[in-house]
Chains A and B, each alone.
Chain A
Amino acid sequence: MPALAGVVVPARHLGRHARPAELSALLLLAPSLVFLLAFTYWPVLTTALRAFTEQRFGQTAQWGSNNFFRLFADPHFANAARNTAVYAAGTILPSLTLALGFAVALSDSTRLNTLLRSVIVLPLLIPLVAAASLFIFIFLPGGGLLDWHLARLGVSAINWLGNPDLALGSIIAITVWKNTGYYMLFFLAGLAGIPAEYHEAAMLDGAGAFTRFYRITLPLLGPTLAFVSVIALMNALTQIDHVVVMTQGGPSDSTNMLLYYIYQQAEQNYDTGLASAATLVSVAVLLALSVLALRALERGIHYES
């Protein structure tokens, strides 16, 4: 028996090490993969199937691209796409510029700067719906916070959310207020990674503050800038909670966005085909833009090293 035991132990030992890594990996990845498949890949697949399925009343479903024809013929969709583009540009450009400006101005960690940074980050921590609840009063025509104070300067009441020319701008202002602090945090981290010697050397060579900013700070922040742009882009396409509670896409469709259009088709019109086609188009645009931005990010990293 001792001899046998002597054989068995190494065999078991061997067996454990010989267990294929694939099996261990599969067991460890299974919990994540199940949910990843169920809530990311399967939905994309079924969306594609539904988008290409034509469902006519009283007939059996058949393949076709009718949903896409209907989608691209729908003026509401074109309008939502246009508004989303305006919203993306209108939120990303100002909030990134402001965030970079704040980060440069507040990069030294003095007590005052730390306080100012915290104040600018604060909106990030409240739900967009809570921000909407505050801004409903701020934008209230006549007696609201903005109009009440403007009235003291002699400006007459403005219907910030009710005027189709102003509503999207008002919605954009809320997003800029809410997200600028988040982007500032990334720029602050990026600035902290730039060695002080670079600036000192440039100063010795007589470079002014603006030259140093354009020649040193901005190029070295390239990767951060590209990364923040991707996040800002995703935020612009997905953060529309304030639209849902404040304007419902109105007035006159002036604040309708792609995601809200999808929500309307699915929840209000029960038009799954149209909603799926719109989702598929949005996903494609999102992926294409993200890949473009990530390419830029990669180039930025090469530039740095």
Chain B
Amino acid sequence: MRFKTGILLAGAAAVLWVIPFAWMAVASLRPQVAGAQDVASLWPGGPFSLDNYREAWSSGHFPLWYLNTILVCGGILAVQCVTVSLAGYAFARLRFRLRGAIFTAFLLQLLLPPVVLVVPNLLMITQLGLQDHLTGIMAPYFASAFGVFLMRQNFRAIPRDFEDAAAVDGATTLQVIWHVLLPLTRPGLAAFAVVSVTTHWNEFLWPLMAVSSPDRQVLTVGLASFTSGAESGSEWGVIAAGTALVAAPLLAGFLMFQRRFVSSLVFTGLK
């Protein structure tokens, strides 16, 4: 009995939860009619048109914003894969002095997210000459304590026999990591990639501060300025379309690979 009530309440909540998305879909596809009173209606009655998407696409700089976001997410992920694999290996396999202390120093980063340090980080990238460059957006994320921790756990779960066999054949440490360990930790790396890309695709405040040229803006920063422009003209359908364009890639990825997304988000959080 109680169980049924629970599902009923959760179902009601789910309806409430989906309303913003439902409005986004309906309003973005509804053609704009002058003086129309039905912008707020959730009724998906036709006619439908893609005019709002066309207008959003032409009045914003979506191709450029997509490109910049992809470059930022891809750049961060590529460098992170190198740094976290190497450091993860050191913590998982090597015995060295101060290992515990250095590991703690890494973990402390988990409690000091770069967004809290926006002010000093901005001065830092300015000193490095990276201000107003995409690299400046990426740099604070190149070291990932969370990724190092994750790779350490992954490497530890692999029996040493594999590496010993490779070492006997004369493989260097880097070769062992690249040819033996990384292929065995693909699920862990994939999970890390999902979390890293989701985080940085959605980030706003730091890219807003780190970059000032319009041609180096990422999707979130572009959407914010696009929204404030369209808001003054009350072009709600166009705002809905622009928001859908920004949210679509990750939403599509989630709906297609739901199980992998969910297990990544939980697995990486709990480990």
Quick one: which of A97-128 are within 8 Å of B by CB?
98, 101-102, 104-106, 112-113, 116, 118-128
Q: Does A120 lie within 8 Å of B90, measured CB to CB? A: no
Which listed residue, B7, B111, B113, B258, touches A106 by the CB 8 Å rule? B7
Q: Does B86 lie within 8 Å of A32, measured CB to CB? A: yes
Chain A CB within 8 A of B118 CB: yes
Chain A minimum-CB-distance residue to B111: A290
Q: Does A44 lie within 8 Å of B117, measured CB to CB? A: yes
Minimum C-beta distance from B245 to chain A (A): 9
State the CA gap A263–B208 with chains docked (Å).
11
Proximity string of chain A (120-140) to chain B, C-beta cutoff 8 Å, 1 when within and 0 when not: 111111111111111111100
Chain A residues, CB < 8 A from B121: 39, 43
Chain B CB within 8 A of A22 CB: yes
Interface residue tally of chain A, by bracket? 35 or more
Q: Does B86 lie within 8 Å of A31, measured CB to CB? A: yes
Chain B CB within 8 A of A24 CB: yes
Number of A-B contacts (CB under 8 A): 269
Chain B residues, CB < 8 A from A133: 223-224, 227, 239, 242-243
Chain B CB within 8 A of A79 CB: no
With contact pairs A43-B117, A105-B6, A244-B205 given, residues A116 and B227 touching in the complex (Cβ less than 8 Å): no
With contact pairs A39-B114, A105-B9 given, residues A145 and B40 touching in the complex (Cβ less than 8 Å): yes
Minimum C-beta distance from B204 to chain A (A): 4
With contact pairs A128-B202, A244-B208 given, residues A32 and B247 touching in the complex (Cβ less than 8 Å): no
Minimum C-beta distance from A96 to chain B (A): 14
Proximity string of chain B (259-270) to chain A, C-beta cutoff 8 Å, 1 when within and 0 when not: 001100110011
Residues of B within 8 A of A (CB): 2-3, 6-7, 9-11, 13-14, 17-21, 23-24, 27, 37, 39-42, 82-84, 86-87, 89-90, 94-97, 99, 102, 105-106, 108-109, 111-124, 139-140, 142-145, 148, 173, 198, 201-205, 208-209, 219-221, 223-224, 227-228, 231, 236, 239-240, 242-243, 246-247, 250-251, 254-255, 258, 261-262, 265-266, 269-270
Residues of A within 8 A of B (CB): 20-22, 24-25, 28-29, 31-36, 38-44, 46-47, 50, 98, 101-102, 104-106, 112-113, 116, 118-138, 143-145, 147-149, 177, 181-182, 185-186, 188-189, 209, 227, 231, 234, 237-238, 240-241, 244-245, 259, 262-263, 266-267, 272, 275-276, 279, 282-283, 286-287, 290
